[in-house]
Amino acid sequence: MLTAKVMLLGDMGVGKTSIMYRLVFDRFEGQYKTTLGVEILTHDVMLDVGGERELVRIVFWDTDGDFGTQIFDTVYVTGATAAIIVSDGTRPQTVTRMIELAASFEARFPGRPYRAVINKADLLAADCKNIGIADRSHVDLVSAKTGTGVAVSIAELAAALHRRSL
Ligand code: GDP
What are the pocket residues of ligand 1 if the criterion is a CB atom closer than 6 Å to any ligand atom? 10, 12-18, 30-32, 35, 65, 119-120, 122-123, 143-145
| pLDDT at residue 57, as a whole number | 97
Question: Which atom of ligand 1 sits closest to the CA of residue 86?
Answer: 3
Residue-level pLDDT at 143:
97
Lowest mean pLDDT among 59-68, 77-86, 102-111, 137-146: 59-68
The pLDDT tens digits of the residues spanning 114-134 come to 999 999 999 998 766 566 565
Please name the residue whose Cα sits nearest to atom 16 of ligand 1: 30
Phi, psi for 151 (deg, rounded to 5): -65, -35
Give whole-number Cα distances, 146 to 6, 11, 27, 97, 125, in Å. Answer: 23, 21, 9, 24, 15
For the chain, the C-alpha Rg in angstroms (whole number) is 15
Ligand 1 centroid to residue 145 C-alpha, Å: 8
Find out whether 35 and 64 touch, Cβ atoms under 8 Å: yes
Q: Which of 16-25, 37-46, 127-136 has the lowest mean pLDDT?
A: 127-136
